[in-house]
């Protein structure tokens, strides 16, 4: 089974005193199971960014320890720097990496926010996917006016009311916590010291003022050079190479150019491969043409955890069982949808559907993570039922408590595969779209995705029904069965679309 990994990239308002940054890093690394992948500090920004990964529980604890450490060492009343900020720990995003979905990262952000507000008495604002208000999804809205404006307005203006913690700022300021997809922090230095040029280019390139979608940008003066500082929030839909070339052309309008570029933190490998493909004009390039990728496929094919899962499935243990297998089938279906979409993106023949395929990649990858996570959750739900049945029943009180526990565990054991069934049908509909509009050479892969999704739906439905049979709550079981009927209708429609696409695009009857 896939290892459960969450990434956290906290930003701290200290980039000049290395001894303080060292203490924050030490607090993170002290948590068992945490790997600190990267740390980066900037003197002019007076800011440090750290990237660490681990299991969800460990990452959540490490983030709390880092926030607590920073709060005791950084005084915002004494802080100055080029980068906007409202807190000692300014922003803490959680990113799903493997075996974890966005929903779980949102839950981590909510729990951490509540704990930071309660135990550390630091105001917390939730942002991006965890935002509780639409206007707070955008970090810039929360950070407008920075620490000084927030200090004056919090507790007075309703829009400044934090999600957790006191409506007052101490010297540690406030912290913004959330969940989001991978982000690329990328800076472009210009061959000039005129910061007004950088500000004008930033205004032109950023989405909020009419520029490129999924680009946030500021114009700053750093190390005596004008800098366009950016966050690229979805590199799969606005490629990094296009952003750089846009800035290059804008700089030429002002009689300057790009001096060099800078990456802050880490970057997904795919983003660099896409940039290389774009600049080298490798229109027919495939990712498995990379030597290291082919070597990994040849030598590491059994390192994915699939063999371990299949061995566990074949063992005499009751878990993992059919529900886990159903979720795994759905995850494979989502993986196939992502594959077909990626085989379509970048092909001239399919230029008109590229944006649709990019969206499919994002959707399929997110659901694949959720269904992979559901493999373990289904097994845990079944184990909880077995535990409830083993409770003592010698006295009337024990019998009543046992029955209550059985009903609660059975409900959870039914709802887990019901969620997986819904995700499987989502994947089937995306598979139909991939079959209709994706790369025709991969149409059978899209069709296979639909078939795997159907298998996931059938197996999940069996698990829902067997648990529903043990429930006393007739209203709930009726609702579950009605949901399965509705999902089956959607699945049949998706299958019909796939069959039509096969006939029309592949001449398969």
Q: Report the phi/psi class of residue 490: left, alpha or beta, with left for phi > 0 and alpha for psi in -120 to 50.
A: alpha
* Pairing assessment for the beta strands 89-98 and 175-179 based on DSSP bridges: parallel
Query: 258, 314, 326: which is closest to 464 by C-alpha?
Result: 326
Mapped to the 3 state alphabet, what secondary structure does 249-291 carry?
HHHHHCCCCEEEEEEECCCCHHHHHHHHHHHHCCCCCCHHHCH
| Residues linked to residue 185 through DSSP beta bridges, in sequence order | 231, 264
**190 beta partners:** 258
| Selection from 68, 81, 180, 61 nearest residue 129 by Cα | 180
Catalytic site residue from 83, 234, 274, 426: 83
Distance CA(201)–CA(414), nearest Å, equals 54
Q: Kindly report the CA angle at 53 between 52 and 55, in degrees rounded to 5?
A: 145
The pair phi, psi for residue 41, each rounded to 5°, is: -125, 145
Which residue, among 153, 146, 177, has the nearest Cα to 167 in the 3D structure? 153
Tell me the three state secondary structure of residue 48: strand
Residue 324 host element (H or E): helix 322-344
Q: Report d(CA 180, CA 320) in Å as an integer.
A: 30
Contact 495, 436 (CB under 8 A): no
| End-to-end Cα, the chain, rounded Å | 37
83 catalytic? Reply is yes
Q: Which entry of 234, 365, 373, 378 is annotated as an active-site residue?
A: 378
The number of CA neighbours under 13 Å toward the Cβ of 447 is 16
SS3 label, residue 406: helix
**Residue (of 234, 207, 203, 13) closest to 129 by Cα position:** 234
Q: Which residues pair with 178 in a beta bridge?
A: 93, 127
> Tokens 């024990």 belong to which residue?
398
Could you give the CA distance from residue 21 to residue 505 in angstroms, rounded to a whole number? 58
DSSP 16: S
The 3-state DSSP class for residue 176 equals strand
Residue 274 appears among annotated catalytic residues: no
Give CA–CA dist 359/147, Å, rounded: 36
Which residues carry out catalysis?
83, 378
């Amino acid at each position: 089974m896939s290892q459960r990994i969450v990434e956290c990239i906290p930003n701290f308002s200290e980039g000049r005193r290395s001894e303080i940054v060292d203490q924050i890093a030490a607090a993170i690394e002290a948590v068992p199971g945490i790997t600190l992948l990267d740390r980066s500090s900037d003197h002019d920004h007076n800011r440090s960014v750290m990237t660490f990964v681990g299991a969800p529980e460990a990452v959540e604890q490490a983030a709390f320890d880092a926030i607590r450490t920073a709060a005791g060492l950084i005084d915002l009343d004494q802080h100055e720097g080029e980068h906007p900020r409202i807190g000692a720990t300014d922003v803490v995003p959680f990113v799903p990496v493997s075996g974890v979905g966005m929903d779980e990262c949102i839950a981590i952000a909510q729990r951490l926010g509540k704990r930071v507000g309660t135990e550390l008495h630091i105001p917390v604002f939730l942002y991006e996917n965890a935002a509780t208000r639409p206007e707070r999804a955008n970090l810039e809205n929360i950070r407008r006016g920075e620490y000084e404006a927030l200090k004056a307005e919090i507790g007075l203006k309703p829009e400044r009311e934090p999600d957790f913690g006191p409506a007052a700022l101490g010297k540690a300021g406030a912290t913004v916590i959330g969940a989001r997809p991978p982000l690329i922090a990328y800076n472009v230095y210009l061959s000039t010291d005129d910061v007004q040029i950088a500000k004008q280019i930033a205004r032109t390139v950023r989405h909020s003022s009419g520029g490129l979608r999924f680009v946030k940008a500021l114009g700053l003066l750093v190390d005596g050079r004008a800098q366009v500082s950016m966050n690229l929030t979805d590199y799969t839909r606005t490629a990094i190479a296009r952003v750089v070339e846009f800035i290059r052309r804008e700089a030429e309008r002002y009689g300057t150019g790009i001096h060099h570029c800078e990456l802050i933190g880490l970057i997904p490998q795919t983003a660099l491969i896409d940039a290389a493909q774009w600049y080298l004009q490798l229109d027919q390039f495939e990712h498995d043409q990379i030597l290291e990728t082919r070597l990994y496929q040849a030598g590491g094919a059994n390192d994915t955890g699939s063999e371990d899962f299949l061995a566990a499935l074949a063992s005499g243990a009751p878990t993992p069982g059919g529900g886990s297998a159903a979720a795994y089938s759905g995850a494979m279906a989502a993986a196939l949808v992502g594959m077909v979409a990626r085989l379509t993106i970048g092909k001239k023949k399919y230029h008109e559907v590229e944006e649709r395929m990019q969206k499919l990649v994002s959707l399929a990858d997110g659901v694949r993570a959720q269904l992979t996570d559901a493999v373990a959750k289904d097994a845990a739900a079944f184990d909880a039922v077995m535990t409830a049945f083993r409770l003592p029943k010698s006295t009337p009180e024990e019998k009543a408590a046992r029955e209550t526990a059985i009903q609660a565990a059975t409900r959870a054991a039914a709802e887990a595969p019901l969620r997986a069934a819904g995700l499987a049908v989502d994947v089937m509909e995306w598979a139909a779209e991939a079959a209709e509009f994706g790369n025709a050479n991969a149409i059978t892969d899209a069709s296979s995705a639909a078939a795997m999704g159907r298998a996931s739906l059938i197996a999940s439905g069996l698990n829902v029904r067997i648990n529903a049979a043990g429930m006393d709550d007739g209203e709930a079981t009726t609702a579950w069965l009605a949901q399965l009927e509705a999902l089956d209708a959607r699945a049949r429609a998706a299958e019909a679309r796939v069959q039509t696409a096969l006939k029309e695009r592949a001449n398969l009857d």
